[in-house]
Amino acid sequence: MDYYRYLNDIHDYELCLPPYGYDFYNMTAKQAREQYEWFISVIPERVNYLKNRCAADLKIKPDLLDYSADSLILLWEWFIGIARVEKTPQKELEKMKEGAKIFGESYINRKKFTVVTQYIMRDIAVYIGESFVSNYPKLKWSYCNLPKNYVNSREPVISGFYIKDEFTEGEMDVNPMGIVTGAGSKFFTGKPDKNDIYNSYTDLIKRIPD
């Protein structure tokens, strides 16, 4: 991490570094399997750390972070207070400008979450996933290697959802990190609200089969 960027980041949050980073698309099948196994093994540790840190900052009992839907409101309220944003580094902007030639100016993000904030978001995603699997026995953590162009390929997801509407019908995976990044986007496009993750969660549980 760049020294001057680190000065403006969150210094006292304990990071959990994955064995192969987060470039899932370029992982080999073996690396993806090993990373998934590592991910499952650290879930208890990361959730416990997150709960204790959130509870300490909000001055609440850790027991309130009990995987309930309401606990997601507390968790996101805490995140809104602790999250930090920085200017996108010039090198990353240059890459985005190249992409903008294809995807348009909206592809360029001049601000982004700091590195530590992004790690906190990943811990929150773990908590959301555990909220699903703890409360709904038909749901479970999983991952898949193929097809490689599948949006969630090689990432940990929650399996067991089912979608049925006028356009499609079938089993559906949910990437908890997608929920977090979706809610996080409101830091840049609008005003984040403590209910953002709760709303996504309660919408998705409607897609759990009976």
Predicted pLDDT at 187: 94
CA geometry: angle 64, 179, 145, nearest 5 deg:
120
Predicted pLDDT at 89: 72
Predicted pLDDT at 135: 97
Predicted pLDDT at 147: 73
List per-residue pLDDT tens for the chain, 210 residues long.
Answer: 555 566 668 889 999 999 999 999 899 999 999 999 999 999 999 999 999 999 999 999 999 999 999 999 999 999 999 999 988 776 776 666 565 556 656 656 778 899 999 999 999 999 999 999 999 999 999 998 877 678 888 999 999 999 988 888 999 999 999 999 999 999 998 899 999 999 999 999 999 998
Predicted pLDDT at 7: 64
Q: Where are the domains of the chain?
A: 3-203
Predicted pLDDT at 210: 85
**Is residue 162 within 8 Å of residue 170, measured between CB atoms?**
yes
pTM for this structure?
0.90
Which two three-digit tokens encode residue 6? 């680190």
Predicted pLDDT at 27: 92
Angle between helices 196-204 and 176-184 (to 10 degrees): 140
Predicted pLDDT at 100: 58
C-alpha distances (whole Å) from 162 to each of 126, 168, 172, 174 are 21, 10, 5, 10
